Structure 1
């Protein structure tokens, strides 16, 4: 339930930044559609889209990614799955949590009937984020601090860590190694990094911590290694360790060990080491490790032997 809700919010953030950047003037072989294809590439659904529609089309792509009930990676399907899972554990969550997630599902069904044309893509993405925030607030404010609460937090931060890594990797790969000096046009680099920071609600934090314009080094350090940023990789791994340490029994030792290894690795890593290894290589490796941690938590606690 928690992972699907966090994923819906992350998908909305991803879609919003790609849509905003697609409206900017493009140059060379880059088009707005290239920018809009980013969510499909990140989620691995580009082939499914092309098989269904044959070619890139802005309106169809937005609908496919946001409201298509046949696309399991769409925001619509994520909220549907979250509501289904919430119904399955109705007795373990509070009434406020259930009412929030159920009303969210009913609302998105209405939005789907109207279509994005009437609702507006930016308005829709903000609505998804707001509904996720409301659920998180209802959860934090009403549920007992027992195992259900800890598993909700685990799902949230596993999904959030994966999203931060993928968004940073996709933005870096799109612009290449010369991301900070693109044909002598610093403005494009600035808007690309600023859009990413805003997508992760990190622009204000960046302005407070760093001086000057965002670049690959500063943004990567902020999103990967700064523990005070709520959506950074380091903050997510901190929270995962905290939640896992509070679960009883010995079944979770493999997950606890892996999470502790990840935390130690981040604690003793500096951004120069990341960039020396290669940002894309480092991110790709960590995406796999975060996936492994999620699978280990699933095997340790949620699968019946």
Structure 2
């Protein structure tokens, strides 16, 4: 497979996943802001979303205050923000068009129809009364795409590169969501109802609230939330589940290339092994924030190594 084809497939997976992650984050931030009593707490919910999405530096450059309207506009529709929902949909469609013949009909239709509908968005789409419906639509479209490529693609190189992008983006998002709320999980500065709202927000950000109750049959507890999102392989968005799939996918690509491997394979295997054999008590004892920050940095390095080894012409 040509490097530019692999690159387009990889980024197609990443951009679709990112659009869904931002939509979930906005839904959670809207819910948190409606439940917070003080202005500082409400503003904190929007700042947390900007940090978790990796968009805080760009938003700061706009000079705007982190109000609901400004953050929603920046994360949902701002063309200058490469990680806004509409920008992600645009980039996903551009990458899909570049590799149209490598996609199934269902995949292309999922991307192209999403792009066509997104172009009809207006200022009214992002008004408070209409925003929840738009965010639900984005989530449903990303799920449609993920289902299309999971159910209709041959398990060949094209499928592996789409999956590689999806899993890397997903792992990064879960680590960032946990990190931005690490104080609530550590119990360092939050108590009572405020902490409980934040615990719910963490789980809702990765669609794992019901999964938590199914696994633990208990009230929310910070230790168990961290364990579920980091170390439980049965949760599709847990970090260990994402790195297991990254490791597996890279090994599949290597096998198709005569066993040729690089630093990206070593990094993925190392990160998977660390999580597979890790224990939550050890992670918390060493410092959750330090662990998550190191993981985010390693994830960025893994992305760079994948880019250098497979995706540069």
Task: Compute the displacement of 1:15 (Å).
Answer: 1.4
Moved more, 247-256 or 227-236: 247-256
Q: Per-residue displacement from partner, 1:70-117 (whole Å, max 9, x unpaired)? A: 222211111111110001111111121111101111111112454311
Task: Compute the displacement of 1:188 (Å).
Answer: 2.0
Output the aligned Cα RMSD: 1.9
Is residue 2:104 matched to residue 1:94? yes
Task: Compute the displacement of 1:30 (Å).
Answer: 2.4
| Counterpart selection for 1:264 from 273, 276, 280 | 273
Q: Per-residue displacement from partner, 1:39-95 (whole Å, max 9, x unpaired)? A: 222334335434435323321221111011122221111111111000111111112
> After the TM superposition, which residues 114-125 of structure 1 pair with which residues of structure 2 at under 5 Å, given as runs?
114-117=124-127, 120-125=130-135
Give the equivalent residue in structure 2 for 1:84: 94
**Ranges in structure 2 where 5+ consecutive residues have no aligned partner:** 1-11
Distance 1:272 1:31 in 2: 29
Task: Compute the displacement of 1:301 (Å).
Answer: 1.1
Distance 1:293 1:10 in 2: 20
**Ranges in structure 1 where 5+ consecutive residues have no aligned partner:** none
TM-score normalised to structure 2 length: 0.89
Moved more, 49-58 or 251-260: 49-58
Q: Per-residue displacement from partner, 1:125-155 (whole Å, max 9, x unpaired)? A: 2111100000111112221111000111111
Q: In 1, are the aligned partners of 2:46 and 2:67 still within 8 Å (CA)? A: no
Number of equivalent positions = 299
Distance 2:147 2:40 in 1: 40
Distance 1:121 1:36 in 2: 15
Q: In 1, are the aligned partners of 2:185 and 2:226 still within 8 Å (CA)? A: no
Distance 2:131 2:51 in 1: 19
| Counterpart selection for 1:2 from 3, 7, 13 | 13
Higher RCO (CA < 8 A, seq sep 6+): 2
TM-score normalised to structure 1 length: 0.91
**SS in structure 1 at match of 2:168:** helix
Give the equivalent residue in structure 2 for 1:280: 289
